């Protein structure tokens, strides 16, 4: 696995400590190809991130100029699924960063515990991002699609419509039933919100009473009332286990 991350903190001594600890974790995990860059300025990090597109950004929150929270809001506009791990001396800051969906929160006072935990969560997240599934098109052709590119599936007669986030083809029809598909991929982060819809939890921005709202497109997907509680439980469980993209 190739790993490319950066740390941003206005204290050079803390940066050196974080980098050394992270490199040690990478070597212990058998990762021999990695890049760990450090920045004392959020502005410099944002510029470099535009070109390098790090797998993850470890960001201090309280910094002069653009603080860490503002910086994340800025670069998430361009890279909405980039992983962010906040690093802070103030434990209570975890309650003020939830809207940007960080993968983890590392307390500087608990680096021995929090950094290895965040590192493990990052590896799991990256593995999930690179995972793909094979499907058979309506015409009988086999093709593979990364999980990160799938938004939702909906039943259409004896076929299933696959909805993609990006690319030249955003909708494709495949053979099969939604029930069998659910059995295959429900443990990979897909939730049955309606008898006719199976949704990737990572694209859910809001769960209402009778519908869910998707990120970016703001598309509304109907949700069966009797499934509401299970949808909320499944969503919370997936967030805890896999984090966000």
pTM score > 0.75 for this model?
no
The single-letter DSSP state of residue 110 is: G
> Can you give the pLDDT at residue 168?
47
Q: Which fold does the domain 2-129 belong to in CATH? A: Rossmann fold (3.40.50)
pLDDT band with cut points at 50, 70 and 90 for residue 97: low
pLDDT on residue 93: 62
Strands 33-39 and 2-8 turn out to be: parallel
Answer for the pair 57, 72: CB distance below 8 angstroms, yes or no.
yes
In contact, 144 and 132? CB cutoff 8 Å: yes
Query: Tens of pLDDT along 11-46?
Result: 999 999 999 999 999 999 999 899 999 999 999 999
Predicted pLDDT at 245: 52
* CATH, range 133-242: 2.40.50.1020
CA–CA distance, 73 with 215 (Å, rounded to integer) = 15
Q: Which of 244, 243, 245 is nearest to 117 (CA)?
A: 243
pLDDT class of 96 with cuts at 50, 70, 90: low
CA 90 – CA 5 distance, rounded (Å): 23
Mean pLDDT of 87-114: 80
End-to-end CA distance of the chain: 18
pLDDT at position 159 is 87
- Helices 42-52/68-76 angle, 10° precision: 30
Task: Say what the pLDDT of residue 94 is.
Answer: 56
The owner of tokens 């939890």 is 201
The domains of the chain are located at 2-129, 133-242
């Amino acid at each position: 696995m190739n790993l490319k991350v950066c740390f941003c903190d206005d204290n050079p001594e803390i940066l050196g400590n974080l980098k050394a600890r992270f490199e040690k974790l990478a070597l212990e995990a058998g990762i021999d190809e990695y890049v760990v860059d450090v920045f004392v300025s959020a502005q410099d990090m944002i510029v470099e991130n535009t070109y390098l597109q790090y797998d993850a950004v470890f960001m201090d929150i309280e910094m002069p100029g653009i603080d860490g929270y503002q910086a994340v809001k800025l670069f998430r506009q361009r890279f909405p699924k980039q992983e962010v791990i906040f690093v802070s001396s103030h434990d209570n800051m975890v309650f003020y960063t939830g809207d940007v969906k960080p993968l983890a929160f590392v307390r500087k006072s608990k680096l021995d515990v929090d950094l290895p935990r965040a590192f493990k969560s990052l590896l799991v997240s990256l593995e999930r991002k690179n995972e793909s599934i094979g499907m058979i098109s309506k015409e009988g052709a086999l093709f593979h699609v990364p999980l990160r590119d799938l938004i939702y599936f909906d039943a259409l007669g004896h076929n299933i419509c696959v909805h993609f986030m990006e690319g030249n083809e955003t909708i494709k029809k495949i053979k099969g039933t939604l029930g069998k598909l659910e059995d295959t991929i429900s443990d990979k982060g897909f939730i049955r919100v309606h008898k006719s819809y199976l949704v990737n939890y990572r694209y859910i921005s809001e769960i209402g009473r009778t519908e869910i709202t998707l990120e970016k497109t703001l598309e509304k997907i109907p949700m069966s009332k009797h499934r509401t509680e299970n949808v909320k439980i499944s969503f919370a469980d997936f967030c805890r286990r896999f984090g966000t993209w």
